[in-house]
Amino acid sequence: MNKIDVAMAILRGSVGASIAYHGINKARSISGTASWFKSIGMKWPRNQALLAAATEIIAGALLITGLATPLACIAVIALMSVAIATVHGRVGYFIFLPNGGWEYCASIVAVTTAIAITGPGSWSIDNALNLNQNPGLIALPIGLFFAMCHLALCWRPQTNSPSA
């Protein structure tokens, strides 16, 4: 038994389960999630809610099983980067701050980047299907690129400028 394979299975499983559960939580109340997305300045809030919930559930399940691991890592990096930009970045670093800082999201970005660099390990469907294509460190800029595209297309934060 290889210690790295055990560690990768634990990392994939724990991060994947956490991300998937976040998606399940969003899916339980799409209208509430859509309302929240609207409040933070997202265009097409219902579509955003559906997309976020589906992406979190699917990427989480892919990480847990170790299937299409590079794509799952890139999706999670993009998700967490959008969360930092839209909500958590302005709060501060620590998660215990009111409305939660960016500490948790940055940790998830770091872990999924590490998984992308290392690969899913032997205890994965990718390995069983001989699909071990780890993108390495390039997963981080790809995820950030997709996050920036998403923000440019969909995020219109409200400004607190006085109205005339």
Residue 136 structure tokens: 């390495």
Q: What is the pLDDT of residue 161?
A: 54
Domain map (residue ranges) of the chain: 3-154
* SS3 at position 42: strand
Q: Which of 125, 42, 40, 48 is nearest to 91 (CA)?
A: 40
**CA 81/CA 78 separation, integer angstroms:** 5
**CA 50/CA 60 separation, integer angstroms:** 15
Q: Report pTM.
A: 0.92
Q: What is the pLDDT of residue 131?
A: 84
Q: What is the pLDDT of residue 135?
A: 73
**CA 62/CA 23 separation, integer angstroms:** 13
Q: What is the pLDDT of residue 160?
A: 63
Q: What is the pLDDT of residue 164?
A: 47
Digitized pLDDT (tens) for each residue of the chain, 164 residues in all: 699 999 999 999 999 999 999 999 999 999 999 999 999 999 999 999 999 999 999 999 999 999 999 999 999 999 999 999 999 999 989 988 887 889 999 999 999 999 999 999 999 999 999 986 777 789 999 999 999 999 999 999 877 655 54
